[in-house]
Amino acid sequence: MSDSIELAPALRAAQMPLAQIPVIDVSALYGGPGEDEMVAQIGKACREIGFFYAINHGVPEALIAEVYAEARRFFALPEAEKERVAIEQSACHRGWFRVGGENLDPAKQAKGDLKEGYKVGRDLAPTHERVVAGVPLHGPNQWPDFLPGWQDVMQAYYDEMVALGRRMIGAFALALGMEENFFEPWLGITMTTLGPLHYPPQSGHITEAQIGAGAHTDYGCLTLLQQDAAGGLQVQRRDGVWVDAPPIPGAYVVNIGDMMERWTNGVFQSNPHRVINISGGERYSLPFFFDPDFYAPVECLPTCLQPGEAPKYAPTTAGAHLLEKIYASFEYKQAEV
Ligand code: OGA
Ligand code: NI
C-alpha cells in the first residue's frame, strides 16, 4: 500500500495466517476419484465461511485470458461508445453500467460502488416464448458489435461457465445430502449472468462511504469469480472478522448467495464480502452468477430442516427473489419504482 492511501479502521482486514478460505481441488467434478473428499470439503467450506477457492476446474486458462482482454478492451472505450450499449436501454438488465451505477451497500454508500461493469445474460431471441410473455430478466443481450470478436469470446466463456456451474451445483446437492441431480428440474432456463467488472484505482483517505464494491452478500445461488492480480477482495467470517481473499492465479473464488442460504435454511450461509482496490492500478474481475430458472421454488430443502426447527424464510421463487435484489441495488432501477 502506498503512503497516499489511508484505510479507515473499519476497512482493514485482520492480519491472519493464510488458509482462512480453503482451496479445493474440484477435478472430481469431471468424474474419477476423490469425489467424496471434494464434496466433504465443499460442504465444510459452505457451512463455515461460505467461500472457497476452486482449482483444477477445467476452464481453459487461455479462454479466461481472452475474456479479461475483451473486458479491458470494452472498458477502455470512451464513454460515448459505451453509452451505445448502456444497461438503461435494455428491458432485461443487460449491457454496460457506469461507475456508481450499482450500489452494493446503499446503507453506507451515497454514490454507489467505485466500479463499472457489463451484464451478459442468457441470450434469448425476442421471439422466445418467455420474452414474448414479458418474463422479467429474459431477453436478448446487448452486444458491442463495434468490437469485432467480443461477442464470440463472451459467449464461449458464458457457455463454459454454465456447464461448470451445473457440475458444481451437483456437488452442492451431494454436500447437502441429496441426489446429485436434485437441482436439475430447476435449471430449465438458468438465469446465469457473466458480469465483467472494472475497478479504477482508489487512493487517499478511504472509508466505507465509497469503496470498489460495498459490503454485500450475493443475491443468487452460486458465484464463480475470477479476480486479477490486483487483490482487494475481503470476506467477512461468521464471527464478524474481515479477512483477505487474495488472488490465486487461475483459481475461482466460489461463494454462495442468498438464494442458497434460503434453500438451506442458513446451513450454508452467504457471507458478506467487499472490494477495495488499493493496488494503485486498475482492477478487473469476472464474476459469474449461477442462478436457476425464473420459476424455481426457493424454500427450505428437505435435508436442511432439523426436527423441531421451522424455516427461517418465507417461500419465494428465484425470479421474485432476484428482481427484489436487483431493484434494490441498481440506480437506474430506482427511477422506475
Ligand atoms: C460481486 C463481487 C467481487 C470482485 O460482483 O458480487 O463480489 O472481486 N465481486 O469483483
Ligand atoms: Ni459479490
The pLDDT tens digits for 236-285 are: 998 899 999 999 999 999 999 999 999 999 999 999 999 999 999 999 99
Q: Whose CA is nearest to atom 6 of ligand 1?
A: 218
Would the pTM count as exceeding 0.85? yes
Ligand 1 atom closest to the Cα of residue 232 is 8
Instruction: Indicate the burial class of 295 (C-beta count within 10 angstroms; 0-12, 13-18, 19 or more).
Output: middle
Tens digit of each residue's pLDDT (9 = 90 or more) over 292-335: 999 999 999 989 998 899 999 999 999 999 999 888 888 887 76
Question: Is the C-beta atom of 197 inside 6 A of ligand 1?
Answer: yes
Identify the pLDDT of residue 18.
55
Express each pLDDT in 162-185 by its tens digit: 999 999 999 999 999 999 999 999
pLDDT confidence of residue 13: 85
Give me the sign of the Cα torsion angle 57, 63, 66, 71: negative
Ligand 1 contact, 213 CB (< 6 A): yes
The predicted model gives 108-135 an average pLDDT of: 97
Contact 222/169 with Cβ under 8 angstroms? yes
DSSP state of 237: -
- With the most atoms of ligand 1 within 8 angstroms of its CB, the residue from 99, 225, 277 to mutate is 225
As a whole number of angstroms, the distance between CA 102 and CA 110 comes to 11
The confidence score (pLDDT) of residue 101 equals 95
The residue contributing the CA closest to ligand 1 atom 10 is 285
DSSP H or E segment with residue 56: none
Element (H, E) at 290: strand 283-290
- pLDDT reported for residue 2: 52
* Closest approach atom of ligand 1 to CA 115: 10
Q: Does residue 287's CB lie within 6 angstroms of at least one atom of ligand 1?
A: yes
Query: Best substitution site from 68, 278, 285, 291 to test ligand 1's pocket, by max atoms within 8 Å of Cβ?
Result: 285
Beta-carbon contacts of residue 201 (< 8 Å; ≥ 6 apart)? 277, 278, 279, 280, 281, 282, 283
Q: Ligand 1: does its nearest atom lie under 6 Å from the Cβ of 285?
A: yes
Task: Catalogue the E-assigned strands of 110-267.
Answer: 116-119, 193-194, 197-199, 204-206, 213-216, 222-227, 233-236, 242-244, 252-256
Q: How far is the CA of 273 from the centre of ligand 2 (A)?
A: 6
Q: Is the CB of 117 under 6 A from ligand 1?
A: no
Residue 149's Cβ-count burial label (10 Å; 0-12, 13-18, 19+) is exposed
